[in-house]
A and B are shown apart, each in its own frame.
Chain A
Amino acid sequence: MNKSPWIFLGVLFALSLSWWGMVYGPASQANNLSPELGAGDPLRPRVGLAKQGEQVYRENGCYYCHTRAAIGGTFGYEIQITQLGDDRQLNAEAVDRHGKYSEKSVFQKAYSYKAVAKAADALKAEQDKKPEERDEKKIQDANATLISAIGLSNDISRGAEEAVNLKAYGVSGVSFEKDLLAQLGLPAEMNANQARLIKEASFPVTDGSESWKDIEGTIQKLKDKAGAQYKLQPVAKEWPDVQKGAGRQSVSRDFLFDEHVMVGVRRFGPDLSNIGRNILFDKKNGEEVANNPEEQVIEDNNIYKHLYDPQWNGKSSHMPPFRYLFKERKLGENERVQSGEIEVEKEDSYRVAITPTAKAKALLEYMKSLRNDKPLQEAPLVRRKQASAK
């Protein structure tokens, strides 16, 4: 290592390794990310006030104390079978892996509902046709399915509940073929019953405690072999950010249109990845406050007051106040605020009327745009753990 020029080349090469891994690689991947969500509106860039707010957030260095990244935690999966596949044996095998949910009755019941509903559909379809076009083979098949379904159902549990369910559908007795065809003439009733039956046929397989490793085999079997449809729902176990209000973890696509990505490095204040939802939605009933202008104003004013005086109302925040984002005016006794002004009561019992400047308004709009309550293909919303009763 005494050859001078080689040191230069060596240094360039050594640096290029980490540059490739941390700059070039991620950048080329990010260029391929698509804003399409598969369903619903695609992701969109911020516009107008929210865009200006991004700059206010940046110039005041808010990202030194707040992160915009909800991080992952531990969770389990709930598998909800939404449609049973046709291969009964494989379905049963897949579901059987999960001891407590494979009780025969649940699964068999679901299966018999599905079979009945399906056969009834087939019968009805034939019945809809003109007599000369009917396919006798299909009618026979449907009947056979009904026989086996009821037979099976009776085999497994001849309980009263089962009988009631089947009766509600219109299947009873031995001469069901004739009865059924007769009774299928009542379309509305049939549809309601059918809907109920199919809904009951979708059932959870796991309770949200199994990890991916536990359910991987089941999923493969259900999807690739048994032809069933299912939905995976992550359920938080120890996932503090979700418990505190985030919808899910933040992922790359959340920052697709950010001009300067300010995820932040420290959390001296709360994480802001889902703050927009907190402002726009009522925390209690989950309804959009924006539908109710009066409440929206109250919510907005609370944020303004917090920015103006974080320790307002005895809050134990240690955020420095951003008073320069507001025009302030001391209120005399009995003086009332004018429209557009917000009244803040100071500790030593004098009152101030504040008017948010354009920057404060932009910042609020930016905060409203910070939401991760939209499910993405790579990150579905996480269901919160029920708060333990205290």
Chain B
Amino acid sequence: MSENTDSAANPAPEAKPEAINASCRLPVLFLFFSAAIWVVQASAVGVLGSLSMHMPGFLPDFPYLTYGRLEANAWVAFLFGFGGNAGLGLTLWMLSRLRGMKLARPGFVVAGAVLWNVGVTAAMVGITMGDQPGVPGYELPAYAGRVLFVGHALIAFSAVLTYFSRRHKQLYPSSWYLIASLVAFPWILGTAHWLLVENPVRGAAQIPAAHWAATSLQQVWLGSMGLAALIYFIPKIIQRELHSRQWAGFGFWMLLILGGWVNLNSGSPIPVWSIKLSQLASMLYIFVLLAVCWNLLQTAKGVPLIGSRDLTLKFMGVSFASWALVAFYTFGNSIVEWNNLLQFTYAATAMRHVFAWGFFAMAMFGAIYYVAPRLFGNEVDWACSGTYKWVFYLTGFGVAVVALAGMGFSYGHGYALQESVGADVLAKKALMPMRIAFLGELAFLAGSLIFLCSIACLLFRNCCGECNPMSLIRQCRTTESEGGAK
């Protein structure tokens, strides 16, 4: 608040919220709608994959539908399809609003978004045909990686221009996170693409590198975008100021420093020092947990989040709780016995689901519920907005089930792995948490279907007059020329 010295010279005038919303309409809605399609795809493919695990005789004659490929596809669809589209759309909107400026160069965003979706589609087709690079958590084939890189660069160009278009305002913590996610993504993608897919590093060095890429994509990239949404929407909707800028900064830097280190399996066949450093990082992750939780809890003191009347706030409440749970699990991984017990079980996968669906998707669903109708201005007609609460209940139920399966039922598998039991006992113990989590995955599928219908309903009801492609492009041109004139 006190540091706005360099900008007093010639502050650009602040744009009205309605004007900003209008400038974001086409690109952001395009991203949101793509996200809605991908999230259905991700959950459907995930369910299909789990089915082939529960009923081994299911679809055995199609190489394209084998568990390993479906599993990779599901995560690519979620991470890049849903995470990228929804996260980048929200990034653009939040950055414009926080800067008080119209979105710069929306044409670049549309071009980038098209490329991005082409890239994700190419990745899905590639994996189905057997092109996955063998890195769980980062399954992009080489060509898809290149396309995504360019797509992201185009979108990020617009975001960074918007960010720099005005200098006089205090930087709200959410914009730190958003900038971090924009900078981190090309780095992580570049490292994973170059050092794991195109030109793999030698031997065992791929193990920590792959872990770094997968963990950073999750903790740093998705994490930054999700936390930006939490830190933005919770104070905004309850109309209080964020408790502490200092706490926020502490949590932010700690997340960036530690995000890529944490959660390495203690049994990985790499030198002990890597594992010990990872355990240290997991331990220090309690800093991030404390900083974020303290800040948000103090901000929302006395206000029920999950029990609130506002649906966005409900979403944010569950999202926040899921994030805290995963952060606590990460901290737990610094305890060697805990890590030894749960490594190679369903626990890590379940926690990834909780992070992906409970934290990130919930934050995005909530944010989209808030943002999407406002992009149309006050005259919006969203008849089926009432169904949106089912997105909340279903996804929330799914997250609860998966979390329970992961944290409650993986121990049996963990203990069985530590004893010299036979393969059949082991198989039963390994399947137990997955069978329970399957219920959760079905709920994810149902929730994301409703989400898609809801978004589709919003889109088609409101742009019917102008929903032919030509008028959309014309509109895009006008907003762009207006942006350029300033």
Contact = CB atoms under 8 A, between A and B. Distances in A.
- Determine direct contact between A and B, CB below 8 Å: yes
Contacts of A62: 68
Interface string B242-275: 0001000100010011111100011111110010
B203 A61 contact: no
Interface residues of A, number: 75
Contacts of A311: 56-57
Interface in A1-56: 1-4, 7-8, 10-12, 14-15, 17-19, 21-23, 25-27, 29-31, 33
Interface string A300-320: 000000000011000111111
B179 A27 contact: no
B60 A322 contact: yes
A252 B272 CA distance: 11
Contacts, number: 246
A268 B423 CA distance: 10
Nearest to B245: A1
A63 interface: yes
Interface string A169-213: 000000000000000000000000000000000000000000000
Contact of A64 (B71, B204, B265, B270): B71
B136 interface: yes
Contact of A14 (B201, B256, B426): B256
B56 to A, nearest CB: 5
A243 B426 CA distance: 15
Interface string A262-286: 1111111110000000000000000
Q: Which of B202, B211, B267, B343 has the most CB of A within 10 A?
A: B202
B210 A21 contact: no
Interface in A111-169: none
Contact of B195 (A27, A31, A252, A255): A27
A29 B184 CA distance: 25
Nearest to B192: A23
A253 B176 CA distance: 41
B53 A320 contact: yes
Interface stretch (A66-74, A91-99, A218-226, A336-344): A66-74
B379 interface: no
A127 B274 CA distance: 60
Given A11-B183, A270-B426, A322-B60, A256 B132 contact: no
Nearest to A12: B183
B3 A2 contact: yes
Contact of A256 (B57, B202, B345): B202
Contacts of B266: 71
B366 interface: no
Given A1-B176, A1-B249, A59-B130, A320 B66 contact: yes
Contacts of B417: 240, 267
A61 B420 contact: no
A240 B259 contact: no
A265 B66 contact: no
Interface in B8-27: none
A321 interface: yes
A72 B267 contact: yes
A68 to B, nearest CB: 8
A350 interface: no
Contacts of B209: 22-23, 26-27
B61 interface: yes
A65 interface: yes
A261 interface: yes
B249 to A, nearest CB: 6
Nearest to B219: A18
A324 B62 contact: yes
Contact of B56 (A7, A259, A318, A324): A318
Q: How large is the interface on B (under 10, 10 to 19, 20 to 34, 35 or more residues)?
A: 35 or more
Nearest to B417: A267
B185 to A, nearest CB: 11
Contact of B57 (A15, A263, A321): A321
Nearest to B434: A268
A5 to B, nearest CB: 9
Interface in A204-250: 238, 240, 243-244, 249-250
A253 B420 contact: no
A323 interface: yes
Contacts of A261: 134, 200, 203-204, 206-207, 210
Contact of B61 (A4, A250, A252, A324): A324
Given A21-B261, A63-B136, A14 B269 contact: no
Contact of A323 (B61, B72, B170): B61
A14 B60 contact: no
Nearest to A254: B269
A58 interface: yes
Contact of B345 (A15, A258, A266, A316): A266
Contacts of B71: 61, 64
A100 interface: no
B439 interface: no
Interface string B418-430: 1110011011101
Nearest to B277: A21
A175 B67 CA distance: 83
30 contacts: A4-B167, A15-B220, A15-B260, A17-B257, A18-B260, A18-B281, A21-B277, A22-B274, A23-B195, A26-B274, A30-B205, A59-B132, A60-B66, A64-B67, A64-B71, A69-B269, A251-B204, A253-B203, A255-B206, A260-B135, A261-B200, A261-B210, A263-B268, A265-B348, A266-B349, A267-B344, A268-B53, A320-B56, A320-B58, A320-B66
Given A69-B268, A257-B203, 13 more contacts: A7-B180, A12-B183, A26-B274, A33-B204, A58-B134, A253-B204, A255-B269, A261-B204, A265-B344, A317-B427, A320-B56, A320-B60, A320-B67
Closest 9 A-B residue pairs measured CB to CB? A61-B68, A71-B267, A59-B130, A18-B260, A30-B205, A14-B256, A252-B204, A22-B212, A250-B269
